[in-house]
Structure 1
Amino acid sequence: MGKKKTKELNLETRVLAEVAWEVCNQVGGIYTVIRSKAPVMVKKWDKNYLLLGPNIHPNVSADFEPILDADNAIAQVVRDLRAMGWDVQFGTWLVSGRPQTVLFNPHSVMGQLGNIKYYYWQNHHIEFANYDPLMDQVMAFGFMVHEFLSRFARVCLDQNQELLAHFHEWMAGTAIPDIRREQIPIKTIFTTHATLLGRYLAMNDPYFYDHLPFMNWETEAKNFNVDTIARIERACAHGANVLTTVSEVTAKECVHLLGRSPDAILPNGLNIERFSVLHEVQNLHHKYKDQINNFVMGHFFQSYTFDLDKVMYFFTSGRFEFKNKGYDLTLEALARLNHKMKEQNIDMTVVMFFVTKQPFYSINQEVLTSRAMLEEIENNCESIMEQVKDRLFHAAATNSDHRLPELNELVDDYWRLRYRRTIQSWKSDKLPSVVTHNLMDDANDQILTFLRQANLLNYRTDKVKIVYHPDFISSTNPLFGMEYGQFVRGCHLGIFPSYYEPWGYTPVECLARGVSAVTSDLSGFGDYVKKLPMGNEEHGIYMIERENQDYHSAAEQLSEKLLEYVKSSRKKRIQTRNKAEDLSEEFDWKNLVKHYDEAYDLACQKFPIEK
């Protein structure tokens, strides 16, 4: 992928439409990409930038504001489609930047689904043998996007403007093969954030990267029963003027599984907000660590206590992909860390949070009750303090004796008894629960299975305690009562030693909040950051080598790095916290959007397409 010197895009004569299944529809990481990038794109392209997405999310009205009286070319094409009976809306996405957005309701054209699939099979030799409601939605959405872009391209031509269309993933890209076949004057860019087959294969093959060059994509697609999707993904990749992906790691997959080498790499960024004063980072860390302390007291102190001044909070988060996300490696390293800390008699406690989404029935009643009891103890303490304060003030004003009175005598028997009984009823001999919820498949859960086999079950003597939280963390969460970003700020270290991760937002989110992070050289982010001058431990990045060493060697390396972090001084951690923010600026969209500019410039150079 040699870099050519390209001329700068003339944004006044060009219009960019970005198409994604996750516009106004939060499903995964692409939602973060599109949403966080929007302010930079709007600032750069202004009214020549729009987003296209599906109108399928039940709460879409909370994120989208329709514009009914708009007088521009986009709104006119939308009105034409509405006149055909299609449910299409033009408005703005209620995120930073307020990008112009067109939403298509695929259900409004479901009556034409038979013809949509038939012509797709006839023109592109892709069959739709199995019933799949999601595939139906995707094909209907792609049909609507194709019609909109075809009409909009004609309007752009009349106005001497060139139209670029950037499609994210196969679910948004089904219009590409028809745009190519019909030679519609649109410059197309397709980004695969992760190949479908790559994700399946990595989960099921411990030597995925070694076997990758020798795999037959058609055979593997049939094995996993994803033949139709794999063919659509390949058609998008080959039909687009420019193929892009998010990292060099995924680029290798594109060559072997999609049959085309990417023209450009588009690394993912965030909107990085820096504080004007360094100590604010540390202040926020203490503020949110105190809230995590409250959870930890409620969860553990019912059974036994440990010194909260000598606690470190580690966490991992993301989709539940046990091997791909490196949960297996993390657990193995934690078991080894627990042993090493005991052996070396290290006077610290590590509380490790696994935050991921798994099916559950409800919050564990004992966990919830313990939390409620601790709140009751806190309320009792506040009432006692209020009573002592009033009586102490009265004594100071009225007593001739200036000595401090016996404070115990200022508390009523009622509050003494209530305080004592509440604590007695709260304390328990049971071990603190490892998982905060009642899982639907507790017996076969991979995290719980490992913890049971490793006997890492929150014993008093364990130096490493585990909290497995199979739900999102949000301000409405009754256990934490804080946003995910606040939770991250309160922790000390994020652990993400992924085996398969096309990019990986979680380490970037850590750095942006001044939190150190573990990554691996098999993740797109890890592969990218190791080439940066600041991509080192001094700036909060701990690299696990998974490309050229086996599972157990990687687990040992991770356990040693965790042990090193546990032993580090508070002063060093504060210095790293500040330097992590410096590194995070490398991933600000203001710095990374240039890669998108290069891809768009390349698409302009490649057009027109010759058959």
Structure 2
Amino acid sequence: MVKEKLIPDYIFESSWEVCNKVGGIYTVLSTRAKTIKDKLQDKLIFIGPDFWKEKESPYFQEDKDLFREWKEKASEEGLAVRVGRWSVPGEPVTILIDFKPFFDKKNEIYSWLWEHYQVDSLHAYGDYDEASMFSYAAALVVESFYNNNIDSSKRVIYHGNEWMTGLGLLYINYKLPQIGTLFTTHATSIGRSIAGNMKPLYDYLFAYNGDQMSVELNMQSKHSIEKQTAMYVDCFTTVSDITANECKELLDKPVDVVLPNGFDNSFVPNASVFAKKRKAARKRLIEVANALLGDNLDDDTMIISTSGRYEFRNKGIDVYIESLNRLLRSKELKKRVLAFIEVPGWVGEPRHDLVERLNSGKSFDTPLEVPLVTHWLHEMSHDNTLGMMKYFDMHNRKDDMVKVIFLPCYLDGNDGVLNMTYYDIVLGNDLCVYPSYYEPWGYTPLESIAFKVPCITTDLAGFGLWANSVKGGFSDIQDGVKVIHRTDYNYSEVADTIKDTIARYSNFTKKEIDAARKKADVLSKKALWTEFIKYYYDAYDIALVKAEERKCREAQ
């Protein structure tokens, strides 16, 4: 007989990225919200940091009537909260907390943490303090809401994402044992650091000692809170088999459940609008390129891009540029290529000379100065992307078949040059390339195929492994996703495979392209949250069973 799963009555979920768009975790939470809210309604409550205060947040709509009585209680308890709804599909209830006041108690909080959970906060620096004070404040919100609003018979989950929520999870674990705790690490802090410091992660993973590496890489405090949280929570989870292996080796704790990241395709325009939006995106990208380059690229140009966080090696930006440099000399390439690098750098301002050209409506036959970048950067001479292009002597010359443009800003629709959002732009691509070296899951390739754009990724991305598992072997570009085998040491081979795949795709007939786009779309449907949410309910069940056991022990 199959045991019936325990279902939570309330879920509190906290993250640094609730109503705060920083990276992939924002996408995980904001696209998943609707699927869980459909089941729990307003008993799904997100908790995030309040950076906006009195300013208008583009992600949060305050509702002064929601939980009005509790807000007054919370205020008496010293909590400065705002309650409202996150402006994403499903519009879940969200509580934003001002965590700044808790800095005054920082040493006292860290002493408590050391005394009860042996977390080393002595080596804290950078964002550790800020994240910890938010984490503590978020836990106080849960404690207050639970004590004032929730019947003790109700089943409650507190779910924290990343090491930044660890302190709060341990606080709840200690103070409210009747709540089931769930911790998701989307990437171990020490694994990301090893990869980012140019050390080979995968071949030597079995030999690395997480504690020892944290000292070597000056990561003791982040590693300590992450490891102790993993040890003590009721259910420890991560987003892919790759990261599960990392957790076992570097945190000395196997995960209880793998929670693959899904997607909510309500972000994708329906068929009647899709073609119009794709056409508009292509038109704008080509307009910007022609104004910058003094060129006359037309709609037959093959548009490709990479995007994501500016982690030059981890996200494979280096190998992408390398492959484009090699593509310049490819005899197989049958179309002109316009390649974008859409990662936010240290932006100074939009280029006024480029904006003037775009506003003039004229066409130009001479390039602007530095025809590689759409926005001026602070310290351009120290930028990795521009530095590598300069090293390869890539200057977007008139006769080059491959033109590469760095778009170094968040595509939020207000960048001053493109002025379109990422989701309105991505569907204009013919191909997307994400050759990651370190990628626990990989939202960008999943988003790409959801917008019917075939993509290239690697089997060091959780998404790439998943695509291979669906195919039952290595997925290729005609399947909608090309998954390249990547190791610690085959960088050059990866660059060649990307170059060859782009060249081969440029030779595809319209029928072959349509078939690849259709397969990309079909594959993306298998990664919808409706398919993946069951793993979350497995995790909730594990946490609630342990919480129920504690309740029973207390009652005896």
1:324-369 alpha-carbon deviations (Å, 9 max, x no partner): 00111111111221111xx35x552101000111113333444334
Match of 2:105 in 1: 112
Match of 2:26 in 1: 31
What is the CA distance between 1:252 and its match in structure 2?
1.0
What is the alpha-carbon distance in structure 2 between the residues aligned to residue 274 and residue 91 of structure 1? 22
Confirm or deny: 8 A CA contact 2:136 2:171 kept in the other structure. Answer: no
1:213-233 alpha-carbon deviations (Å, 9 max, x no partner): 111222221222221111011
Match of 1:402 in 2: none
Q: 1:361 to 1:274 in 2, by over 3 A?
A: closer
TM-score, normalised with respect to structure 1: 0.83
| Superposed counterparts of 1:116-127, under 5 Å | 116-127=109-120
| Superposed counterparts of 1:60-71, under 5 Å | 61-70=57-66
Matching residue's letter, 1:433: P
Q: Aligned residues, how many?
A: 548
| More moved, 215-224 vs 228-237 | 215-224
Aligned pair 1:529/2:467, yes or no? yes
Aligned pair 1:16/2:6, yes or no? no
Aligned pair 1:484/2:416, yes or no? no
Matching residue's letter, 2:345: Q
What is the alpha-carbon distance in structure 2 between the residues aligned to residue 592 and residue 99 of structure 1? 19
| Superposed counterparts of 1:403-442, under 5 Å | 426-428=364-366, 433-442=371-380
| More moved, 521-530 vs 569-578 | 569-578
Matching residue's letter, 1:221: S
Confirm or deny: 8 A CA contact 1:521 1:527 kept in the other structure. Answer: yes
SS in 1 for 2:255: coil
Q: 2:441 aligns with which of 503, 512, 526?
A: 503
- The answer to which structure has the higher helix fraction is 1
What is the alpha-carbon distance in structure 1 between the residues aligned to residue 147 and residue 398 of structure 2? 71
Q: 1:541 to 1:549 in 2, by over 3 A?
A: farther
Confirm or deny: 8 A CA contact 1:117 1:139 kept in the other structure. Answer: no
What is the CA distance between 1:76 and its match in structure 2?
5.0
What is the CA distance between 1:154 and its match in structure 2?
4.8
What is the CA distance between 1:48 and its match in structure 2?
2.4
What is the alpha-carbon distance in structure 2 between the residues aligned to residue 554 and residue 162 of structure 1? 49
SS in 1 for 2:160: strand
Match of 2:341 in 1: 354
TM-score, normalised with respect to structure 2: 0.91
1:196-221 alpha-carbon deviations (Å, 9 max, x no partner): 11111011235211111111222221
Match of 1:384 in 2: none
Q: 1:202 to 1:549 in 2, by over 3 A?
A: closer
1:545-579 alpha-carbon deviations (Å, 9 max, x no partner): 10487111222122111111111122321232233
Aligned pair 1:42/2:32, yes or no? no
Aligned pair 1:588/2:528, yes or no? yes
Matching residue's letter, 1:363: P
What is the alpha-carbon distance in structure 1 between the residues aligned to residue 216 and residue 25 of structure 2? 27
| Superposed counterparts of 1:126-165, under 5 Å | 126-129=119-122, 132=125, 134-154=127-147, 158-165=151-158
| More moved, 352-361 vs 496-505 | 352-361
Q: 1:91 to 1:370 in 2, by over 3 A?
A: closer
1:355-390 alpha-carbon deviations (Å, 9 max, x no partner): 1111133334443343344x2x3xxxxxxxxxxxxx
Q: 1:258 to 1:328 in 2, by over 3 A?
A: same
Q: 1:193 aligns with which of 178, 182, 186?
A: 186
What is the CA distance between 1:464 and its match in structure 2?
0.9
What is the alpha-carbon distance in structure 2 between the residues aligned to residue 282 and residue 210 of structure 1? 45
Match of 2:328 in 1: 338
| More moved, 587-596 vs 240-249 | 587-596
Aligned pair 1:455/2:448, yes or no? no
Aligned pair 1:324/2:314, yes or no? yes
What is the alpha-carbon distance in structure 1 between the residues aligned to residue 220 and residue 123 of structure 2? 10
Match of 2:4 in 1: 7
Matching residue's letter, 1:201: I
What is the CA distance between 1:27 and its match in structure 2?
1.9
Larger-Rg structure: 1
What is the alpha-carbon distance in structure 2 between the residues aligned to residue 195 and residue 170 of structure 1? 8
What is the CA distance between 1:596 and its match in structure 2?
0.6
- Computed over aligned residues only, the root mean square deviation of the Cα atoms, in angstroms, reads 2.7
Confirm or deny: 8 A CA contact 2:202 2:488 kept in the other structure. Answer: no
What is the alpha-carbon distance in structure 1 between the residues aligned to residue 299 and residue 449 of structure 2? 23
What is the alpha-carbon distance in structure 2 between the residues aligned to residue 277 and residue 175 of structure 1? 41
Aligned pair 1:445/2:389, yes or no? no
What is the alpha-carbon distance in structure 2 between the residues aligned to residue 281 and residue 194 of structure 1? 34
Q: 1:285 to 1:539 in 2, by over 3 A?
A: farther
Q: 1:60 to 1:259 in 2, by over 3 A?
A: farther
Matching residue's letter, 2:315: K
Aligned pair 1:229/2:222, yes or no? yes
Matching residue's letter, 2:4: K
What is the CA distance between 1:133 and its match in structure 2?
6.5
What is the CA distance between 1:606 and its match in structure 2?
3.0
Structure 2: any 5+ residue segments left out of the alignment?
none
Q: 2:279 aligns with which of 270, 278, 286?
A: 286
What is the CA distance between 1:493 and its match in structure 2?
0.7
What is the alpha-carbon distance in structure 2 between the residues aligned to residue 70 and residue 367 of structure 1? 47
What is the CA distance between 1:57 and its match in structure 2?
3.8
Matching residue's letter, 2:318: D
What is the alpha-carbon distance in structure 1 between the residues aligned to residue 143 and residue 367 of structure 2? 69
Q: 1:538 aligns with which of 478, 488, 491?
A: 478
What is the alpha-carbon distance in structure 1 between the residues aligned to residue 290 and residue 479 of structure 2? 31
